[in-house]
Structure 1
Amino acid sequence: MKNWFHSWRAAVRIARRDAWRAKGRSSLVLAMIALPILGVCALDLTYRSSELSPGERLERTIGAADASFRDGGFGGQPILQTPQGDNYSPAKEDDSGGWPSGSADLRKALPAGARWITDTQGAAKLTTRHGLLQTDVRELKSDDPIARGIVTLLDGRHPQKADEVIATSAFLEQSGLSIGSTVSARNFDRPYRVVGSYELPDSLDTAQITALPGAFLAPYTKAAEKAGALAPGSSTTYLVQHAGGFTWNMVQEINTKGIAVVSRAVVLDPPADSEVPLYQRSGWGDFNSSPAADAMLLVSLGTVVGLAMLEICLLAGPAFAVGARRSRRQLGLVGANGGSRSHIRAIVLSGGLVIGIAAAVVGTVLAVVLTLALQPFLEEYMGQRFGAFDVRPLELLGIALLAVLTGLLAAIVPAVTASRQTVLASLTGRRGVRSTSKVLPVLGLVALLLGGALALYGSLVTDQFIVVAGGSAIAELGVVAMTPAIVGLFGRTGRWLPLSPRLALRDAVRNRGRTAPAVAAVLAAVAGTVAVATYTASSDAQYRAEYTPSLPHGAVSFFQMEEGGRDVPAVTDAVQRYLSVETRADVSRVAVGKPGCPPWGGGDGCGRYEVVVPAGNECPMWTVDDASEKFTAAQRRKMIREDWRCKESRGGGIYVDGGLLVGDARLLKVLGITDPGAARALAEGKAVTFHKPLVAKDGTIGVKQITDLKAADEAATNRKPVPGKVSSVPAHLVTGDPATYGLQVLMTPATAKAAGLATAPVGAYFSTDRLPSGEQRQKLDAELAKIGAGVDLTVEEGYVSDDSLFMLALTIFAGLVTVGAAGIATGLAQADAEADLKTLAAVGAPPRVRRTLSGFQCGVVAAMGVVLGSVSGLLPALGLRLTEERQQLRFHEQNLAEGWGGDLTPPYVLIVIPWETLAALLVAVPLGAALLAALVTRSKGAMARRAAT
């Protein structure tokens, strides 16, 4: 060995030979390092391939066009836009301070000599084999060269006639149709034949059909309006080809006509921000992520990578340590022939280097192969096609270097330990007297106390999650540093144990360099699991306590707003047929305007209504501008707590338009309202109300019918009375603040008619004798799909936690890591203690001792790691919950000070320990690990000749 290069070359050759000889141990370490590399490389390849370039994005949105034109919606007024065309606003606001509205003529903006096609998009309810399906509808000459890239034809051909369409594969799958089937829209008798299937490369799950321009949306809209249904909105984009494309100056010129432009040339070569007038406005910019957000992302990513490398090093380090001990005679010969400690360290480190390089190569190659093989499945999962298969060599090289670095880090401690062995001890096989470090436990205790203090400070003094998380991480690292000493404390319990567990515990304590890293790896995994499980269980308990039911338990309701409630009788019949209904209460709504108008107004001849709050009953804070300046925080808090005019009605329930429904006393029964005067008041022709501010001094409530929506919006903006006809109805106020589930006013159809209020069916409420089963719900949903109505169905099942699968997954994850780490430690212990096992066999120990010893070795490691991890994981969860409590209390007081109502009860944050998860980790996982290790271990080992001395 003439220089460092030759010495390292020799060390690498020795390490490569040793790795090949110990194939089992080498494969285990290689797999531990290569699996994370495989996952990260595959994630990088998938992300980069799915991240479309600007050119690929343009191909999927505007095809082969040079630009797309669309109406800005500001009546042809000049606009300012971003270079990408994804955001724009009027060049100047009108005198009222608002934005202009109206349409612009796109054709006037087309340059001379340009060629263009239209791309119109809307929606319709289409007939299918199962019923009706809300579907996107597109009108586009899909076989035109300009449209190349927007759609991908899979089968059949493009439409050539007005009665032909093509459909996405998602639509065909959902509808049960195929090429050759006919499809039509509701309220529209004209059939269309499906002549081909296609997909949208950027949205594989979209159900869509495409017809020729003018063949579907315009006649369908007229038919829908004639039938009294809501006319579907549609938008048209012009895809334009023009010699030379469209420069930024041309785009700005077209913007003066109120047209927004997506230019291929501008998107591929955008102008500087200083040349974009929109960016010069206050509040506008490039909207890129802030440096703080980028820094937080990098910190989070670095933390995850660091923890993963730490976990691998903790698991792989003992393997290198055992390998070094099994090669100690070879290392001793190196020392006997003049090798220095640096040469011995180089040989052991080269083992980590060889395994790391092999893991990097294997992980990277497998990632590329698997990503290519699974590309169709990945695309289906993400709902979009890849662009080009994007391989970034530098990124993959950086990920691969992590594998090499991990291998080297895992071999550092074994290398230093091996280099400290004397030549005589190495050649004779003696381990000598070993003592644990006394400094490391002290440092660990200091870190534990410091981290605990930081976490306590973060949870009780500050509101920063990062302080709690950082303190908890420091405390956990302190526990990891104390693990060798804690393992020694566990060893003192061995005097009360039988032979096999006593031997297992003694072996674990005597070989802390092998046991402590495995225990620390289990500790880290279990601590994270317990922390997340405790936080999740506490949050789940909080959600359960704060859950507000929409209806009484087991009750059912539905609302159908479209087409004047035409399908309400059919839906009502379906609910009664498939559910166990006890009481049914039909309800209607107040209708303003022509038949078929939606309750919120909109469209020609359609209005809306509102329940009037008398002037004397309005909360003072809600009737003046700048209430925060005219009332002090104490005054606002006092009004919220004491003034009945400022108390909001009980929250929860389903949305009831205006809080007013037209029905009878059966609705009171379904909602569980037992006030005897309410049913009597309905029979007397009075309206029943549950909200005191709605009742005027003369004992009536007012319902205002608003027909001029534009004037109403202007009046509301200027805080003026909204014009409209007010109908007064005698009212009965229900006291006691019962749960009304969103209902504020109820009147009978006769009372509404007497008040001059027109009504329209809107839905029904049902009480049931038992909750519907899954089969009943499926049958009902299938029936509603056949009816095709836009039904808002609510079944009150109470609070249903969706965290059970998550908690189970956490437990399984921690269990797998625990079993894996304990299994690795057990396998290394068996390899390291083979001489002891042969000695036991030689002195007459029964064969089962070998099996039971292996099981207890695995169980001891798992039990120690689980106990320490469970205790360590509670700290961050408790700290985060206490921090949340402080934040919610401050937010509650701030709401009261600003005059917001709602629940006046101060929030209380629950802390719940997930005992089921802890029991599974503390009992089931160590026991399962021990049984598994015992089952896979042979009872008899091969006898070997006496080692030469």
Structure 2
Amino acid sequence: MSAYPNGWRASIRIARRDAWRFKGRSSLVLAMIALPIMGVSAVDITLRSSHLSTNENLTRQLGAADARLADGGGGPIYQGLDDNQYVSVDDKAPWTGKPTDIAAALPAGAKWLKDDSGSAKVNTEHGLLDVDVRELKAADPMAQGIMTLKHGRFPAGDDEVAATTYFLEQSGLHVGSRLTVRNMDRQYTIIGEYELPSELKQAQLNARPGAFLAPLSEALARAGRSAPEASASYLVQVRGGFSWKMVEAANTKGVFVTSRQVKLHPPANSEVPLYVKNPTQATSYTSSNTQLLGAAATVGGLAMLEICLLAGPAFAVGARRSRRQLGLVGANGGDRRHIRAIVLSGGLVIGAVAAVTGTALGLALALALRPWLEEFAGQRFGGFEARPLELAGIALLAVVTGLLAAVVPAVVASRESVLASLTGRRGVRRSSRVLPVLGLVAVALGVGIGVFGSAVTDNRYAVAGGSAIAELGVVALTPALVGLFGRVGKWLPLSPRLALRDAVRNRGRTAPAVAAVLAAVAGSVAVATYQSSSDQEARDGYTASMPYGAVSVTVGVDGIRELGRVRSAVEKDFPVTARADLARIVVGKKTCDVWESNPGCGIANPVTPKANKCPLDGSGQFTEAETRKWRKDWRCAGGAGSGPSSIRTDSGVLVGGDGVLRGLGIKDPAAEAALARGEVISFDKRKVQGGRITLELIPDNSVVPPAGKELTGPKKSFPVYSAAAGTKSYGIDAVIPPAAAKAAGLRTVAYGSIFSTQRLPSSTERQKLDGALADLGVQASTYVEGGYVSGNSSLLLALSIFAGLVTIGAAAIATGLAQADAEPDLKTLAAVGAAPRVRRTLSGFQCGVVAAMGVLLGSAAGVVPAIGLRKSEQYLRMKYYRQALADGVTPELPHVPIVLPWGTLAALLFVVPLGAALLAALVTRSRTAMARRAVG
């Protein structure tokens, strides 16, 4: 009865003593299994910690309150269950612009706390800085959780403010500094430093209610200036919570409510009037979360597969290094069952230790990288959430994987003769002919499943499963591929040729090591490809308002006289290389600011001929085929000048010379020559007909035309030069030379400039300029084009970091195991008189060859799941696109690019193999003592 347990007990004891005796080899095997466990555990903890629960999100929005009441825009509203999802009950009701009386919607007996937000210009150590101002009793228990105090305290008096860490960093001020506000005589003392957990990079000041915004508005009113827009909301506590019925009652008064109770326990869609009236509003598009979860699931699955691949070669090497001991067991009467038990026990012992070690290191790694990831993401994570069941499952998988990975080495060791084990003879092994065929079938099957999951459905599990099967197929093909790599050896020098031939001759050792590096690299490449593609999508969706680094400065009517001094201030404080002055057409009885619609203020509109109008701009519904057709039509593609512009214009028309073209980054000698001839430069050929462009002069833009009619006025026609197709003009439709405007009898006024710069102005330089402009007393609109800023999430960054660590670590450990297995060959080199340099060089190239083959195959295998995820995302976008068409909307076609991370691939293909080779050469001893043949 007890023979079987006693046999296993003895096997485990032998395995434990063997592991302790050969600490170096055991450490490598342990590290091989613990490394992916560390990475997966760290990703799991980071993912769980970064994903805020609904309650944590509500705490950051509401603090300890039950609800937040905000202005819904005037008039009764229908409110949905998503943030800021509401529509007016009466779509035809005119908007009054008057603020809603939020206090009237407060329930009887409720406790409330007012939360006002606005903005101000404050003086800093460098100049002037725009800052958000929030009047909230942050020390009140109801507001706890909205702001995190880091130093000092929150304001208790009307002359005190607290500031965010980001504001203090940008302004050069500190706790204890005196703060002065532009246009205000009073000063404030900074008595505390805090941060907004979800907006770490926001410059904000906190003051007591009524202590900042109201005095600022009064001061600006006395100076004849309008105060910046401010918003008000109320934090409310109600006995029993803020129910959905209470939300609907507040909606009837034009108040939008964010309720904790409704968020945690939402009503059915049938109880939400907005969804009953418009069912499509109930479908929320959550592509970002789906993308992140899909990427995490796919990379997590590949990481789990990697554990299996890394453990196999580890135990295979360990078993071969213990051949003599296993032979002694057989020589002393042990049968195959005992030898299998000893090898399996080694897998169990080291797997268990690796599971514990990897989980502990994962916890430490996630904790160490958390502050850096939070700063990168610009928000704090939730609590440090390590879910015991998930971590135990990962650890258990490592133990089971370690045990299963030892099965094949155990069977091989048990079948080896006692004589071969004691003498160390390796024998001759032939490569399997069945394995490559199975590998090809698995690759084809996995790719087929992935294509089906991405092109026919949006099932990311199919993509992950297909990718895993395809990667297993590549692993099965690895021995055959290693043989193919050997054919390039004839073109290599001596040491790399010997290393490559040794790798091919010992495929049983090389193939598992290559597979280990392959799996690690595949995960890194999958993450990097998905991340690069997502980043390119966001980059393509970004529309610049100016060339990179360019600065536009425009002034209102009151600042025209000071325009020269404004230009001088910009040239003094910014690294300016060129300047182009701007003017605009003035229509009407008086000179008005841009887009001013007071009586007497006119506008000059470029006329679009009827034949050039896009059919999609009219009324009517279109099928998907019709929409695709018209989207390709030049009339619906948008003009070159379409898009946002930082230059304030009435209708996209500027008056200026060829310097304006250079300021917009347009290098077109023909266009400059046309301006010199007095021709208008048009960037939108829809406005051109018969070689001319027409401006319609509306004398009074404040007049409301009758229903179905448009304002009309005199027309001026100009000869036109159409810019080349694809010319980016950043929202400018046409540039009129000053001479042509004067000849047409148009009145113009200078109002700004475009500045080209050597580099992007820094925050300090911007504050200096704002201070200088404020000293001039000029209200100037300044814009600096900083280009696209990557918005990759902390989760994708964490996956990239952890996958990269696993890649480098797996390459080093796998090649180290290969070197340990090749120790007899190195000793043979020393025995025949090889120089120490040859031993080091050969060892380095052996590791480099293994790493290079693994990286090359892993790079190809890692691209597959990333492409599958992007294709499934495209399928999902197309589904929403067709749904929008069915609802009568004509949206843009989805754009889901696939971009290969060439920088990451280059680093993996060159840095990892080179680093592994150099490291192996450095740690290899030049000389070694001769050893008995039996030790091999």
Give the alignment's TM-score, normalised by structure 1. 0.78
The alignment status of 1:650 with 2:640, answered yes or no, reads yes
In the alignment, which of 698, 706, 710 is matched to residue 722 of structure 1? 710
In the alignment, the residues of structure 2 paired with residue 555 and residue 157 of structure 1 have an alpha-carbon distance, to the nearest angstrom, of 39
In the alignment, the residues of structure 2 paired with residue 947 and residue 631 of structure 1 have an alpha-carbon distance, to the nearest angstrom, of 76
In the alignment, which of 133, 144, 147 is matched to residue 151 of structure 1? 147
Q: State the secondary structure of the residue aligned to 1:726.
A: coil
In the alignment, the residues of structure 2 paired with residue 649 and residue 479 of structure 1 have an alpha-carbon distance, to the nearest angstrom, of 49
Structure 1 residues 700, 280: CA separation in 2 closer, same or farther (over 3 Å shift)?
Answer: closer
Residue matched to 1:328: 323
The alignment status of 1:174 with 2:170, answered yes or no, reads yes
Q: State the secondary structure of the residue aligned to 2:582.
A: strand
Structure 1 residues 333, 277: CA separation in 2 closer, same or farther (over 3 Å shift)?
Answer: farther
The alignment status of 1:218 with 2:214, answered yes or no, reads yes
Residue matched to 2:885: none
Residue matched to 2:754: 765
Residue matched to 2:776: none
The alignment status of 1:621 with 2:615, answered yes or no, reads yes
Residue matched to 2:582: 586
Contact 2:302 2:523 in 1 (8 A): no
**Structure 1 stretch displaced more, 410-419 or 580-589:** 580-589
Residue matched to 2:191: 195
Residue matched to 1:440: 435
| Structure 2: stretches of 5+ with no match in the other structure | 774-778, 793-797, 882-887
The alignment status of 1:73 with 2:73, answered yes or no, reads yes
The alignment status of 1:93 with 2:82, answered yes or no, reads no
In the alignment, the residues of structure 1 paired with residue 816 and residue 179 of structure 2 have an alpha-carbon distance, to the nearest angstrom, of 65
Contact 2:324 2:934 in 1 (8 A): no
Residue matched to 1:708: 702
1:144-543 → structure 2 map (5 Å cutoff): 144-224=140-220, 231-267=227-263, 271=267, 275-283=271-279, 300-335=295-330, 339-369=334-364, 371=366, 379-385=374-380, 387-447=382-442, 477-489=472-484, 504-524=499-519
Contact 1:651 1:902 in 2 (8 A): no
**Structure 1 stretch displaced more, 919-928 or 528-537:** 528-537
Contact 1:69 1:106 in 2 (8 A): yes
Q: State the secondary structure of the residue aligned to 1:178.
A: coil
Q: State the secondary structure of the residue aligned to 1:587.
A: strand
Q: Provide, for residues 6-59 of structure 1, a one-character-per-residue CA deviation record: whole Å limited to 9, x for no partner.
A: 433333222222211121122223223323333333343344445555555444
Residue matched to 1:106: 102
Residue matched to 1:850: 839
CA RMSD of aligned residues (A): 5.7
The alignment status of 1:560 with 2:554, answered yes or no, reads yes
In the alignment, the residues of structure 1 paired with residue 681 and residue 419 of structure 2 have an alpha-carbon distance, to the nearest angstrom, of 99
Structure 1 residues 271, 624: CA separation in 2 closer, same or farther (over 3 Å shift)?
Answer: closer
Contact 2:458 2:875 in 1 (8 A): no
Structure 1 residues 127, 514: CA separation in 2 closer, same or farther (over 3 Å shift)?
Answer: same
AA aligned opposite 1:220: L
Q: State the secondary structure of the residue aligned to 1:765.
A: strand
In the alignment, which of 660, 667, 675 is matched to residue 653 of structure 2? 660
Q: Which structure exhibits the higher relative contact order, with contacts defined as CA atoms closer than 8 Å and separated by 6 or more residues?
A: 2
In the alignment, which of 803, 814, 817 is matched to residue 828 of structure 1? 817
AA aligned opposite 2:758: P
In the alignment, the residues of structure 2 paired with residue 42 and residue 815 of structure 1 have an alpha-carbon distance, to the nearest angstrom, of 13
Q: CA deviation at 1:773?
A: 5.2
Residue matched to 2:21: 21
Q: CA deviation at 1:220?
A: 2.4
The alignment status of 1:37 with 2:22, answered yes or no, reads no
The alignment status of 1:611 with 2:605, answered yes or no, reads yes
Residue matched to 2:923: 936
In the alignment, the residues of structure 2 paired with residue 591 and residue 15 of structure 1 have an alpha-carbon distance, to the nearest angstrom, of 93
In the alignment, the residues of structure 2 paired with residue 872 and residue 405 of structure 1 have an alpha-carbon distance, to the nearest angstrom, of 26
Contact 2:682 2:721 in 1 (8 A): yes
Contact 1:614 1:695 in 2 (8 A): yes
AA aligned opposite 1:772: Q
In the alignment, the residues of structure 2 paired with residue 285 and residue 22 of structure 1 have an alpha-carbon distance, to the nearest angstrom, of 65
AA aligned opposite 1:324: A
In the alignment, the residues of structure 1 paired with residue 470 and residue 31 of structure 2 have an alpha-carbon distance, to the nearest angstrom, of 30
Contact 1:70 1:260 in 2 (8 A): yes
Q: CA deviation at 1:120?
A: 0.8
The alignment status of 1:745 with 2:722, answered yes or no, reads no
Contact 2:520 2:858 in 1 (8 A): yes
Q: CA deviation at 1:230?
A: 5.6
Contact 2:28 2:817 in 1 (8 A): no
AA aligned opposite 1:365: A
Percent identity between the two aligned chains: 53
In the alignment, the residues of structure 1 paired with residue 544 and residue 688 of structure 2 have an alpha-carbon distance, to the nearest angstrom, of 26
Structure 1 residues 363, 595: CA separation in 2 closer, same or farther (over 3 Å shift)?
Answer: farther
AA aligned opposite 1:480: V
Structure 1 residues 217, 722: CA separation in 2 closer, same or farther (over 3 Å shift)?
Answer: farther
- Count of matched residue pairs: 912
Structure 1 residues 601, 50: CA separation in 2 closer, same or farther (over 3 Å shift)?
Answer: farther
Q: State the secondary structure of the residue aligned to 1:482.
A: helix
Structure 1 residues 811, 225: CA separation in 2 closer, same or farther (over 3 Å shift)?
Answer: closer
In the alignment, the residues of structure 2 paired with residue 576 and residue 707 of structure 1 have an alpha-carbon distance, to the nearest angstrom, of 35
Contact 2:163 2:206 in 1 (8 A): yes
Q: CA deviation at 1:440?
A: 0.7
In the alignment, the residues of structure 2 paired with residue 665 and residue 421 of structure 1 have an alpha-carbon distance, to the nearest angstrom, of 86
In the alignment, the residues of structure 2 paired with residue 654 and residue 462 of structure 1 have an alpha-carbon distance, to the nearest angstrom, of 37
AA aligned opposite 1:330: Q
AA aligned opposite 1:167: A
In the alignment, the residues of structure 1 paired with residue 531 and residue 246 of structure 2 have an alpha-carbon distance, to the nearest angstrom, of 55
| Structure 1: stretches of 5+ with no match in the other structure | 804-808, 893-897
Q: State the secondary structure of the residue aligned to 2:202.
A: coil
In the alignment, the residues of structure 1 paired with residue 62 and residue 539 of structure 2 have an alpha-carbon distance, to the nearest angstrom, of 48
1:781-930 → structure 2 map (5 Å cutoff): 781=766, 783-787=768-772, 793=783, 823-824=812-813, 827-865=816-854, 926=913, 929-930=916-917
In the alignment, the residues of structure 2 paired with residue 659 and residue 812 of structure 1 have an alpha-carbon distance, to the nearest angstrom, of 46
In the alignment, the residues of structure 1 paired with residue 570 and residue 639 of structure 2 have an alpha-carbon distance, to the nearest angstrom, of 30
Residue matched to 1:806: none
Contact 1:700 1:729 in 2 (8 A): yes
Q: Provide, for residues 823-845 of structure 1, a one-character-per-residue CA deviation record: whole Å limited to 9, x for no partner.
A: 54554355434444444444444
Give the alignment's TM-score, normalised by structure 2. 0.79
